[in-house]
Structure 1
Amino acid sequence: MLIQLFTSFFLLILPFVILKIITKTSKSKESDPSIPPKHYPIIGSSLALKSHEEDRVQWTAQILQNSPSGTFTFHLLFGGRHIFTANPANVQHVLKTQFSNYQKGPSSYSVLFDFLGNGIFNVDGESWKFQRQVSSHEFNTKSLRKFIQDVVDTELNGRLIPMFSGVAADENVLDLQDILQRFAFDNVCKIAFGFDPACVSPSSPAAEFAEAFEDATKISGTRFRALFSLSWKIMRFFDVGSEKRLRIAVSRVRDFAMKIVREKKQELADKSSLESVDLLSRFLSSGLTDENFATDIVISFILAGRDTTSAALTWFFWLLSKNPGVEEEILKEIKGKSGMPVFEEVKDMVYTHACLCETMRLYPPVPVDGKTAENDDVLPDGTVVKKGTIVTYHPYAMGRMKMLWGSDWAEFKPERWLQRDEGGKWSFVGRDPYTYPVFQAGPRVCLGREMAFLQMKRVAAGVLRRFKVVPAVEDGFEPSFVVSLTSKMKGGFPVRIEERGDVE
């Protein structure tokens, strides 16, 4: 055991020693970040990868923007390869045509297991199929209508709007990103587990869980950026540093999720029939008896429901503050829907829908996603893929590709998703999911896509009808896009809330 540990430690530090030598002997001038990095024997492009640890998504996007094929292969330690692509043909090949050959794989599974276990976002094969099949029953029209009318609207009018009114009256500053995460957390717990954590209030007992969940998400994300997995595995073995913090955070998260599972099991045991059937009830009624597995499922759906919509809405409100003309168009649309039932109102908000699509084009909640090749393959653009290679498709880069969106790709332009009919009415014009894989595509396409849009449009309409969201930042401030497992606005989004009166 001691010899194995020493050998592991030696292999761990060897690449860094080589990196140090190269760093000292290389020129000090900054290289163009859009030019593919050099690679060296043994260490590959690790020198460049290490230097772009914090902005790797933006850096790889720049490289892909300047790649003729929209694809680039990184050379890793000890001869490994990692392929990044922003080519729609490649994305379709990986996510649909050759779906069975591109799986989550052992590397991703290992990185996320401590946090997500065997939840739907971390597994392949029969376990994934089972979870997806059971989950699919929660996304029909009846469930969507209930979600908007009974869950989102209640949370919006009962908690979020009153909070904003109080903040506006007191002229306080709040972190909108944090509030939107709490709001989304309440919503997903209600619809998926029949449980109300009341997390929008900072004094809620669930606030401690929210902090632990954020820590677990952030630290799990750093594992993906490690030069190789042995580094974090050694830290986990000795229970030090970030791995110790991850263990503590995951323990708190799992305790909270396990409590939800056990309370739901007791509820099912006490009642012959439930007034309403939520997602967790479906799983527990399907023959699932393993509480740890049920806990994995709970954590995965919290991640999906909490972090993605809140991230998109955070950037949506930022972009509206920079584009007052767009905000005026949304207000016109809101005014035109006044008096309609809630579900019909949000379903028919075409211009707002386009604004949200445009927001996620520029700031996708999941900016990159990798798959592992089960066998040797060749991508449509000719890129050779060896068995075990990770192929990462890059929604963040794809939203910035001139070849896909034109020379005005950097502009926030909802009209690129719209066309007017002869009467001047907007209609939505979508893009294929392989050009715009924000919700993934193929057999693993996001089941909650429609639910997410309905929730975001309801929040947008409810908030903008009453308030103006004003960033509490200095002139010229530009927020930073950071990534853990999902995207965030670095440091949160400080805003002031101003009453505008109802939009009649």
Structure 2
Amino acid sequence: MLLHLLTSFPLLIFTSLVFFLITRTRNSKPKSSSSSYPSTNVILPKSYPIVGSFFSLLANQNQLLQWVTSILQNVPSATFTLQRLGGQVSILTANPANVQHILKTNFYNYPKGDRLRSTLFDFLGHGIFNIDGEEWKFQRQISSHEFNTKSLRKFFHTVVETELSDRLIPILETAAANKQVLDFQDVLQRFAFDNICKIAFGYDPEYLLPSFPEAKFAQAFDEGKIKRLLNIGSEKRLKLAASEVREFSKNIIKEKKLDPGESMDLLSRFLSSGQYDDDFVTDIIISFTLAGRDTTSAALTWFFLLISKNPEAEKEILKEIKEKSDTLVYEDIKDMVYTHASLCESMRFYPPVPVDSKFAEKDDVLPDGTVVKKGMRVAYHPYAMGRMEKLWSFVGRDSYTYPVFQAGPRICLGKEMAFLQMKRVVSGVLKRFKVVPVIEEGVEPEFVAHLTAKMKGGFPVRIEERNESK
């Protein structure tokens, strides 16, 4: 993640150099290039021995995502080598050819790596999103059964429809009647949390209720992952947060063993495999909860913001909804082409996972000629790629130009499930209501990235019943 670029490295003898180096820092421009990528008006960070570009990173710590994006938009080949404290190097890229090389062509040379795994081990442990190699292959193989057509239909008809009609819509009706301001980001997270727990674990946390019950798991997870990524907070508090997360997950396992039910969900598949103990299965639960709750809710949050600013796009989506039957079925949702494209466009600008890092196992050379040494961090940057004008001059791009769901062997297993869920929420909400942001004029919500993206401070909205005559 981008936040790893700021490393908590003691300055020690360098403190006396701070003022001198900051005052001597000069912006430099790259040489012209015949590359197809532009290279104008770029400001590159100055690098110094030992401290690297620490002071540029420090100066941009509150806008790292945007700062790196501005560099990648302008440097030749959309790839930049960042010198960090202590001689560490990070390669940042928004070049689709490099992304394909990292995620597919030379996939096995770019695992997550020990450093990244250890950072999140307290929370993700040996879960699928924090491992490599044979262990990852086995988890992916078992997990893939949860995303076949039969499972997707079940997810749509028995989980999403129920959560939408019995919980989300009534809450929006009440908010509209009472002219209540809702944090729609929180509402969408609760919706997604219930959904993933139901379909993957056969467990209903009842997080999306009118009382908006406190969820210790969600709060502990958010607190723990942010503090661990930023390396802040006491070890005592981090351990407590991790303990709360794991206790929640182990309780799900305990309930599943007492009442396995008739259907074979993701949790049942892992428990019945007989290859792992409860601690390992706990890691699985945590990983899939993170993926199911945070990514789809983030994508929908930004979608509803953007659609409120684009009435013509909203009009086209409403037209598409009305063309379908009153009760939208699985096939109708899959065929909502304009809505699907609108969600993709929203995620192009606001990808749920804006940056993803790997570590090189061996020396390598990227397709654009960038030299990679063993142990270097290599990060591809979906957030920046969505803002590369050169990449989006034409319609239709592959998953390496649009790696919002990753690509190659680690492409997101839940991609189709996520789109089904998002399109059903969009159709169900927009058919009945207008979502009106309560944001001061001229103020743009802040996009913040940790493991996944969020809207800083939440997304306050008013819900208005839609006039059926329009």
Query: What TM-score, normalized by structure 2, do the two folds share?
Result: 0.92
Cα contact 2:26–2:46 (8 A) shared by 1: no
Distance apart, 1:435 and its partner CA? 0.4
Aligned-residue offset at 1:481: 0.6
Q: Which moved more, 1:465-474 or 1:203-212?
A: 203-212
CA contact (8 A) 2:438 2:461 kept: yes
Write the letter of the residue equivalent to 1:378: V
What does the per-residue CA deviation read over 1:193-232, in whole Å, with 9 as the maximum and x for residues that have no partner? Answer: 0000010126465522222122123223324xxxxxxxx6
1:356-413 residue CA offsets vs partner (Å, 9 max, x unmatched): 000000000000001100000000000000000011000000001121013xxxxxxx
Instruction: Rate the CA distance shift 1:292–1:333 in 2: closer, same or farther, 3 A.
Output: same
Q: 1:490 to 1:34 in 2, by over 3 A?
A: farther
Contact 1:465 1:503 in 2 (8 A): no
Residue among 266, 276, 284 paired with 2:258:
266
Aligned with 1:106 (options 100, 104, 114): 114
Match of 2:196? 188
Secondary structure, aligned partner of 1:492 = coil
Whether 2:123 is the aligned partner of 1:122: answer no
User: What amino acid is aligned across from residue 466 of structure 1 in structure 2?
Assistant: R
**Aligned partner of 2:154 among 146, 157, 162:** 146
SS of residue in 1 equivalent to 2:326: coil
Match of 1:299 in 2: 286
- Displacement after TM superposition at 1:20 (Å): 2.5
1:24: how far off? Answer: 5.6
- Corresponding residue number in structure 2 for 1:256: 248
For residues 171 and 258 of structure 1, do their structure 2 counterparts lie closer, same or farther at Cα, with a shift above 3 Å needed?
same
3-state SS in 1 of match to 2:358: strand
2:345 corresponds to 1:358: yes
Q: 1:14 aligns with which of 12, 18, 30?
A: 12
- Do 1:33 and 1:59's aligned partners in 2 also have CA atoms closer than 8 Å? no
User: Deviations along 1:254-310, whole A, 9 cap, x unmatched?
Assistant: 111111112112324xxxxx4211100000001144111111110000000000000
- Equivalent of 1:473 in 439, 452, 458: 439
Q: Distance in 2 between matches of 1:303 and 1:314?
A: 16
Whichever residue aligns with residue 190 of structure 2, its letter is: R
Structure 2 residue ranges without an equivalent (≥5): 1-7, 30-39
Tell me whether 13-22 or 305-314 shows the greater mean CA deviation. Answer: 13-22
Equivalences for residues 156-195 of structure 1 within 5 A: 156-195=164-203
| Aligned match of 1:210 | 218
- Equivalent in 68, 82, 90 of residue 98 of structure 2: 90
SS in 2 for 1:74: strand
* Residues 71, 11 of structure 1: alpha-carbon distance in 2 compared, 3 angstrom cutoff: closer
Deviation at 1:39, TM superposition (A): 0.6
Q: Which moved more, 1:28-37 or 1:321-330?
A: 28-37
AA aligned opposite 2:249: A
In terms of mean alpha carbon deviation, does 388-397 or 73-82 score higher? Answer: 73-82
Residue identity in the other structure for 1:298: I
Question: 2:228 and 2:423 mapped to 1: Cα distance?
Answer: 30
SS of equivalent to 1:457: helix
Cα deviation for residue 151 of structure 1 reads 0.2
The whole-number CA distance in structure 1 between the counterparts of 2:124 and 2:352 is 18
Q: Is the alpha carbon distance of 1:264 and 1:19 closer, same or farther for their aligned partners in structure 2, counting shifts above 3 Å?
A: farther
Q: Per-residue displacement from partner, 1:470-491 (whole Å, max 9, x unpaired)? A: 0111222211111111011111
2:378 corresponds in structure 1 to 391
Matched with 1:7 is none
CA RMSD of aligned residues (A): 2.2
The offset of 1:36, in angstroms, is 1.6
Matches of 2:154 and 2:90 in 1, distance apart? 43
- Pairing 1:247–2:239 present: yes
> What is the deviation of 1:339?
3.4
Counterpart residue number, 1:3: none
SS at match of 1:468: strand
Structure 2 residue 312 is the aligned partner of structure 1 residue 314: no
- Within 5 A, what are the aligned runs for 1:311-460? 311-339=298-326, 341-406=328-393, 430-460=396-426
Q: 1:53 is aligned with what amino acid? A: Q
Query: For residues 11 and 476 of structure 1, what CA distance do their matches in structure 2 show?
Result: 38
Q: 1:338 to 1:11 in 2, by over 3 A?
A: closer
Distance 2:269 2:445 in 1: 41
Q: Does 1:490 align with 2:431?
A: no
**Equivalent-residue separation in structure 2 for 1:336 and 1:167 (angstroms):** 28
Match of 2:77 among 69, 72, 81: 69
SS at match of 2:11: helix
Structure 1 residues 246 and 202: CA distance shift in structure 2, 3 A: farther
Aligned residues: 453
Q: TM-score, normalised by structure 1?
A: 0.86
Identity %: 64
Kindly tell me: are residues 19 and 473 of structure 1, through their superposed partners in 2, closer, same or farther at Cα, counting changes over 3 Å?
farther
- Candidates 257, 262, 266, aligned match of 1:279: 266
* Offset, 1:51: 2.2
Structure 1 gaps, min length 5: 1-9, 224-231, 233-240, 269-273, 407-415, 418-429
